[in-house]
Amino acid sequence: MSAMMTELEALEERVRKVTELVARLREENRLLAGEREELRAKVRALEAAVGKHAAADWKTRLKSLEEERATLLEERRALARRLEEMLAKLAVLEKAVHA
C-alpha cells in the first residue's frame, strides 16, 4: 500500500507541475495576444501613414513588425506543443497508476 501512496504522491506532484505550467502558458498566451493587438494597431497606424512617408520607410518598419509577429506566433506554437507533450505524459502516468 505504501508503494501505491508514493506513486500517488508522485502523480499528484506531476499534476501540480502541469497545472502550474498550464497557468503559466495561459498567462504567456494572454501576453502574446496583447502584444499581437499592439502590433496590429502599429500596422494600422503605419498603413494610415503610408501616404505621409516614403515607401521605403514604412516597408522596412512593416517588415520588422511582421517578423516580430512571426516570432511571437512561433513562440506561442512552441508553448502549445510543450503543453500538449506535458498532457500526453500526464495521460501516460495516469494510465500507469490506474493499471
Using the predicted structure, report yes or no on whether residue 99 has a pLDDT greater than 80.
no
Answer yes or no: are the C-beta atoms of 56 and 65 closer than 8 Å.
no
- Tell me the C-alpha to C-alpha distance, in Å, between residue 33 and each of 14, 37, 75, 76: 28, 6, 12, 10
Mean pLDDT over each residue of the chain, to the nearest integer: 85
What is the count of structural domains for the chain? 1
Closest CA to 85 of 9, 27, 30, 25: 25
Q: How far apart are CA 43 and CA 63, in angstroms?
A: 10
Q: Does the structure show a pLDDT above 90 at 74?
A: yes
User: What pLDDT sits at residue 55?
Assistant: 65
Q: Which domain holds residue 76?
A: 2-98
46: pLDDT confidence band, cut at 50, 70 and 90? confident
Threshold 0.75, pTM exceeds: no
